[in-house]
Amino acid sequence: MYDFIKKQDKELFRALEAEEKRQAEGIELIPSENIVSKAVREAMGSCLTNKYSEGYPHARYYGGNEIIDEVEDLARERAKKLFKVPHANVQPYSGSPANFAVYLATCEPGDTIMGQLLTAGGHLTHGWKANATSLFYKAVQYGVKPDGYLDLKEIARLAKKNKPKLIWVGATAYVREFPFKELAKIADSVGAYLAADIAHIAGLVIAGAHKSPVPYAHIVTTTTHKTLRGPRGGMIMVTRKGLAKDPELAAKVDRAIFPYLQGGPHNHTTAGIAVALHEASTPKFRAYGERVVKNAKALAAELMRRKIELVSNGTDNHMMLVKCGAGRGAILEIALDTIGLTTNKNTVPHEPSSPFYPSGIRIGTPSVTTRNMKEREMKLIGGWIAEVTKITKDEELPKEKSERKAYLASFKKRAHADKQLKKLRKQVLTLCKKFPIPDSFV
């Protein structure tokens, strides 16, 4: 692997080899990460990256795109079939530009939009104050109840009061099944578009492990990695309900991506998406999606059995949020990484600290499920997380913000020298060797 890079760029080769080793010898628990097949990697490294293809199939601004048209048509048709939608755009470079295109297709600058609060699990592009969407649109944010579930009564009240043009449903850290039907009723009651951002759960939707938003939303966006287990790209789909509301909606979405936001599509990524969608059409993928949720529930149960507090006391999907204590998310992230468990610090509902030094960590099961781990391994992982939590229980983030960076750097050094953590690292490595990263999923 990487034979040509090895010959001409030894520095980069060493970095690639080191990352291959890190992934093989560690357990990726970040819910937005997964492992792609060798087939997807081949597509991503193919000759398609050489070609410029501005425009859409059979209507390009460059010549020589006959084969590219076939590839993009293949990806679009597979997406339409799997998600049961009449229109799909597979050109978004990622989830964020896909979401911004939805604004351009449905709103005018200054219109009111609604989305889930970032600190309550929402996404930056759904109107968070640090994102460009809050600069161009009047963003109204909704949250969750103390039990961690979406507050539907509050969402209905805010919608009635603010009359938004667009309402988002979807999140980056929401562990319960999304109430698409109920939110559709709210959107319809005020004449708003409902856009479902299913970046995290797209693979679960295809597998039937999570309800689909397609009957309820006007537009559906997604990334193509995460539970869909494809390359890093994005898609926008327009539903029949969306076309009934606006027959020009599909054309508006396409125009929003090109020429409004993007230039030439990344054809090698389009090919990777086509491969991933083909893999997702198999019975084996359906079993995978169901196993992702089973593993998440098993891991959540083990954590709670070991007195680890979870937001909403469990999960309906592929992820869970661990409450670590005020500002301790970064501490636990570092300690877990030391033993080979990769997680990410994350805010929790009603965050007592800040998004920079949050009080939780986010854990997911897509990657470990790809490596064929099951309930037994979830119990082991849950035990290790509980042990690390116990070992680091006396660590606290300094109250003075100016001292926090230095403290975390010092803690990282101490963590790597800790004998108890070193012992756990050996146990994690042993498990990883039993579950090597697979090459193929079909």
In tens digits, what is the pLDDT along the chain, a chain of 442 residues? 899 999 999 999 999 999 999 999 999 999 999 999 999 999 999 999 999 999 999 999 999 999 999 999 999 999 999 999 999 999 999 999 999 999 999 999 999 999 999 999 999 999 999 999 999 999 999 999 999 999 999 999 999 999 999 999 999 999 999 999 999 999 999 999 999 999 999 999 999 999 999 999 999 999 999 999 999 999 999 999 999 999 999 999 999 999 999 999 999 999 999 999 999 999 999 999 999 999 999 999 999 999 999 999 999 999 999 999 999 999 999 999 999 999 999 999 999 998 899 999 999 999 999 999 999 999 999 999 999 999 999 999 999 999 999 999 999 999 999 999 999 999 999 999 999 999 999 8
My answer on whether 242 and 360 are in the same domain is: no
**Where a domain ends, among 280, 308, 328?**
280
Q: What CA–CA distance (Å, rounded) separates 269 from 61? A: 19
Q: Among residues 94, 178, 169, which one has the least CA distance to residue 126?
A: 169
Choose, from 60, 78, 165, 226, the residue flagged as catalytic.
226
Which pTM does this prediction carry? 0.96
DSSP letter at 261 equals I
Choose, from 106, 119, 223, 347, the residue flagged as catalytic.
223
Choose, from 80, 145, 232, 412, the residue flagged as catalytic.
232
My answer on whether 122 and 259 are in the same domain is: yes
My answer on whether 218 and 274 are in the same domain is: yes
My answer on whether 249 and 303 are in the same domain is: no
- 223: annotated active-site residue: yes
CATH number at residue 137: 3.40.640.10
- 226: annotated active-site residue: yes
My answer on whether 142 and 168 are in the same domain is: yes
My answer on whether 271 and 145 are in the same domain is: yes
**Where a domain ends, among 280, 311, 341?**
280
CATH number at residue 365: 3.90.1150.10
Q: What CA–CA distance (Å, rounded) separates 133 from 124? A: 8
Close Cβ partners of 12 (under 8 Å, ≥ 6 residues apart): 5
- 52: annotated active-site residue: yes
Binding residues: 118, 122-124, 354-356
My answer on whether 341 and 193 are in the same domain is: no
- 54: annotated active-site residue: yes
Angle between the N-to-C axes of helices 419-434 and 10-25, in degrees from 0 to 180, rounded to the nearest 10: 90
- Is residue 31 domain-resident? no
What's the domain count of the chain?
Answer: 2
Binding residues for (6S)-5,6,7,8-tetrahydrofolate: 118, 122-124, 354-356
Identify each DSSP E strand in 41-199 by its residue range: 55-56, 59-60, 87-89, 112-116, 138-142, 166-169, 193-197
Structural domain boundaries, residue 331: 291-434
Q: What CA–CA distance (Å, rounded) separates 269 from 99? A: 18
Q: Which amino acid is at 24?
A: A
pLDDT in tens, 247-293: 999 999 999 999 999 999 999 999 999 999 999 999 999 999 999 99
Choose, from 106, 142, 193, 197, the residue flagged as catalytic.
197
My answer on whether 224 and 193 are in the same domain is: yes
Q: Which amino acid is at 350?
A: H
**Where a domain ends, among 246, 261, 280?**
280
My answer on whether 180 and 323 are in the same domain is: no
Q: Among residues 361, 355, 195, 367, which one has the least CA distance to residue 295?
A: 367
My answer on whether 74 and 216 are in the same domain is: yes
